[in-house]
Chain A
Amino acid sequence: MKILVCVKQVPDTNEVKIDPVKGTLIREGVPSILNPDDANALEAALAIKDTEPNVTVSVLTMGPPQASEMLRECLAMGADDAYLLSDRAFGGADTWSTSNTLAAGIRKIGDLDIIFAGRQAIDGDTAQVGSQTAQRLDVPVVTYVQDIELQGDKVIVQRQMEDGYELIEVATPCLLTAVKELNEPRYMSISNIVNACKKEITVWGHEDINLSPENCGLKASPTQVFRSFTPASKGKGEMLNGTVKEMSTSLISKLKGLHVI
């Protein structure tokens, strides 16, 4: 069985700070990490490899050359091989373009039984690339997957809903997007780290995956960023003073004055 996991290197948005003077995003010193949901997707693939015979797990990313660091991390967690789609022409891609490029890469790798993606990447938070890649590959997709059980050439998954879940049956090949609740990602192991250093990462540009530059990156993206800005903060209100009792009375009289209670 062949499994592929789409992974993305993202800035750790917990560490992103806003420059208080310029009001812009400070990116320097912000560590790059494996997107959290993608770590869950990779763990799901590795868990299948742990229990089933003859499973290979590949990881695929589209990104700049330094994304290979993250791919090494995935190899060190236990992935068998890694593919990096890297080309100037891929830059500035929206989800339309990203899914087009990933799908071309996946076609070239070929013969996959399960493709995993994360539900959403924390830089853009769009949660679109997984579904869109599946549409381009013409395979069924289940998003928000929080539990997986293999049954021959079928997969039984739990799809998380706002108020519970749906139990869904889908035949392979299929694409599944993972949520945090799916599992607890493993750490890298020493032996895998050693192996990961010896492995070659396959790097492909647009010609390798038969895409013309017009069909990737910014050029092919239907959506464009018109402008970006830091959200206006609501502005600090009033700090109440005094004893707990005084503060409580003052709060209640203020709220009554505003006719909200």
Chain B
Amino acid sequence: MAVKIVAEKCKGCSKCIDSCPFSAIVMENKIAVIGDACTGCGVCVDECPFDAIEKTDETVKKDLSDYKGVWVFAEQREGQIMPVVIELLGEARKLAAEIGTEVSAVLCGENVDSMTDELFAFGADQVYFADHPELKNYRTDAYTKVIKEAIEKFKPEIVLLGATHIGRDLGPCLAVKCDTGLTADCTKLEIDPEDKKIRQTRPAFGGNLMATIICPNHRPQMSTVRPGVMDKAEHVPGRKGKAIKLDVSFEDNEIRTKIIKMVKETGELASLIDAEFIISGGMGLGNPDGFELLKNLAEKLGGTIASSRACVDAGWIDHSYQVGQTGTTVKPKIYFACGISGAIQHLAGMQSSDYIIAINKNENAPIFEVADYGIVGDLYEVIPTILEELNRSS
């Protein structure tokens, strides 16, 4: 809120000058003038006997130029930096170079100072770290409070988070607390060459449409970024940076959730994102045992199996193997799609693989539209033959 003088109504009585707690009003040619010290508190509005001072709706705009630097949320789980953080640091370095600014990581946990060296090695110029027993495991209230305070104090221009189950919980809460916008699940980030603002591109409508989003008048500009999409930062052992410790304190009942226990069901997650060869199966397998055949090929090539959502829904395989919009995004050297029709939601998670090989009975299956090599045939004949040929030729 701000205030303004309506010159026609002002009688020059100077009551407002006496009332102003900030001495922001002066008299010029018998008319009150609001000076720079005005905070928009509005005391004068009520004081004026002639209704010559009005509140204006135009909010005091944040000075955007105060906001500098690219921040990456250094998500850690059980003392391990998540792979997506390394991708974010890689991306942050590119963005920072274009804007001409620095890259910082923000790290929360318990006994995390040992992790700062790793973040420097992956390209962080600074690491803001918060060390507190309450931050050991991610909890919405605790992490939101600490990072919100850091953002308000150090004013980053851009904040990137991994679009993990943690990043997609934290990001929206931070955005509201910092009164700014957030673009979800981005697959591409660019700097506008002219105004140096960030352009965030993301899939919408189940991957049918791409949208480029901007956040012109609020800071920081925030995005969650889909894991497995950006290139990893280069690792430079011994690279140094500045570690800055954040003050942390919590009041009673400020953290409103309690973790009773954490249950691990699979350990395959990381291998799917990092795999160079993925042999993925769909409903065309006909039954869950089909994955055994795919495993043989995966073992031969030193890769891993994966699946479409339909197989996950059918209970054939665990959700952690699912590739696609609501599963994992992968970009291996070779992606074998076996008995997968190629629904848009599936393509959303594997389209940027170096080479896609589709094996499908139906020559009109949409998967062939994105395949580098297509084989029309029964996967139960084709895969054993490929295996035979691989064995023979090696």
Contacts and interface: CB of A to CB of B under 8 A. Distances in A.
Interface stretch (B38-46, B121-129, B229-237, B349-357): B349-357
B206 A16 contact: yes
Contacts, number: 235
A261 B393 CA distance: 12
B173 A141 contact: yes
B301 interface: yes
A157 B215 CA distance: 35
A231 B168 CA distance: 24
Given A245-B385, A255-B334, A261-B334, A162 B269 contact: yes
B320 A95 contact: no
B393 A252 contact: yes
A127 B184 contact: yes
Interface stretch (B5-13, B23-31, B86-94, B259-267): B259-267
A190 interface: no
B247 interface: no
Contact of A164 (B180, B207, B258, B266): B266
Greatest chain A CB density within 10 A among B175, B179, B269, B382 is at: B175
A167 B390 CA distance: 46
Interface residues of A, number: 79
B349 to A, nearest CB: 13
Given A238-B372, A238-B374, A251-B386, A228 B393 contact: no
Interface stretch (A64-72, A82-90, A118-126, A203-211): A118-126
Given A14-B206, A222-B218, A251 B373 contact: yes
B99 interface: no
A150 to B, nearest CB: 15
A109 interface: no
Nearest to A170: B257
B140 interface: yes
Interface residues of B, number: 84
Contacts of B169: 131, 141, 143-144
Interface string A1-19: 0000000000101101110
Given A171-B256, A236-B369, A247-B382, A224 B209 contact: no
Given A125-B184, A231-B208, A240-B373, 12 more contacts: A17-B208, A18-B208, A96-B181, A127-B184, A135-B144, A140-B141, A166-B259, A222-B180, A223-B181, A224-B215, A256-B393, A258-B355
5 contacts: A96-B175, A126-B185, A143-B168, A168-B257, A239-B363
Interface of A: 11, 13-14, 16-18, 25, 94-96, 99, 122-132, 134-136, 140-144, 156, 159-171, 174, 181, 214, 221-231, 233-240, 244-245, 247-249, 251-252, 254-256, 258, 260-261
